[in-house]
Amino acid sequence: MKPLPFKLLVKDKFPLLSTGQKKVANYLIENLDESAFKTAYQIGKKAGVSETTVIRLSFALGFEGFSNMQTTIQNQLLQQHQTELLENHQQDEKNDPFKRVIESEIHILRHLLNPTNINEIWKAVDALIKADQILIVGYSLSHAAAYWFSHMLSTLRENVSLCSPNENFVEKFCNLTKNSVVVAFSFPRYSNETIKIAEVAAKHEFQTIAVTDRLLSPIGQISDIVLTTEEKAETGVNSISSVISLLDLIIEGINQKDQNRVHAHQQKLEMLYSSLHVFNE
């Protein structure tokens, strides 16, 4: 059986780790390329824990020891980031702000195509197709992406609702069932309201999909499926273009896997658009 990607392994085991081990896990996730070639002592020093805690983390994650964990990290990095490593440190791009932004976006979009992300995207597609209802949540800067996704998803299927910033989510939340899905958008600065809704969803055992910037973000730690768009990206700001690109992949996946229902739903919509003269065409 193919081993679980290191980042997903950490996410699965994270709640069971000690406080010190969580510090190491966070450091490794945030500095995976760098950590792949450091000693246990060096990693411990950077994470603010002892060398022993680093070694204990490797056992807690199911490895035979630190060396085995580090070899796994190195192999996965080589497989998943060869293209990224070739594009690093291009000095001319640093002097051109527009080119730097474009290259950063390209870097992020390539990150979306790594096997771990693609697997999670297909999980999200399947969950959204099977759901009887979908509740989409996103506040502050995350609301724009949440609104866009709710609109696009509503053109593919029924029973999609959006929690707007000025609304109380309780009324919409109480209509959900065990077959419903909550999609939560959460980017820095993370909204406490979104985190609270995700926690309530987890408590009621609703399946939760997080769209966020990193695997171990506050919402990433408590969601069933985590879709990340900007892990290790040096943009300086949160890029909505990469988020929309990720959502486009989900929309395309639903179009491919649920063609009959999508077609029937869109036919109904077109009839309503035409009878109500919604568009000026």
Residue intervals of the chain classified under CATH 3.40.50.10490 are 112-273
Asked if 15 and 61 count as a contact pair (C-beta separation under 8 A), the reply is no
End-to-end CA distance of the chain: 54
> How far does Cα 74 stand from its chain's mean position?
22
Model-level pTM?
0.73
Looking at residue 81, what is its pLDDT? 59
Asked if 50 and 98 count as a contact pair (C-beta separation under 8 A), the reply is no
Looking at residue 56, what is its pLDDT? 94
> What stretches in the chain show pLDDT beneath 70?
1-3, 80-95, 230-238, 281
Distance (Å, whole) CA 121 – CA 108: 15
User: What is the per-residue DSSP string for 46-101?
Assistant: HHTS-HHHHHHHHHHTT-SSHHHHHHHHHHHHHHH-HHHHHTS--HHHHT-HHHHH
Peptide bond just before 214 cis, omega within 30 deg: no
Asked if 143 and 165 count as a contact pair (C-beta separation under 8 A), the reply is yes
**Where do the H-state alpha helices sit in the chain?**
6-13, 19-30, 32-35, 40-47, 51-60, 66-80, 82-86, 91-94, 97-112, 115-130, 143-154, 169-173, 192-203, 240-257, 259-276
Distance (Å, whole) CA 38 – CA 50: 14
Which of these, 141, 150, 82, lies nearest to 110 by C-alpha position? 82
Q: What is the CATH number of domain 6-82?
A: 1.10.10.10
CATH architecture, domain defined by 112-273: 3-Layer(aba) Sandwich (3.40)
Distance (Å, whole) CA 153 – CA 132: 13
Q: Could you tell me the two tokens for 6?
A: 């290191």
Distance (Å, whole) CA 240 – CA 108: 11
Asked if 139 and 187 count as a contact pair (C-beta separation under 8 A), the reply is no
Asked if 215 and 228 count as a contact pair (C-beta separation under 8 A), the reply is yes
- The interaxial angle of helices 143-154 and 240-257, nearest 10 deg, is 20
Looking at residue 231, what is its pLDDT? 57
Residue intervals of the chain classified under CATH 1.10.10.10 are 6-82
Distances (CA, A) of 246 to 30, 116, 188, 240, 259: 21, 13, 17, 10, 20
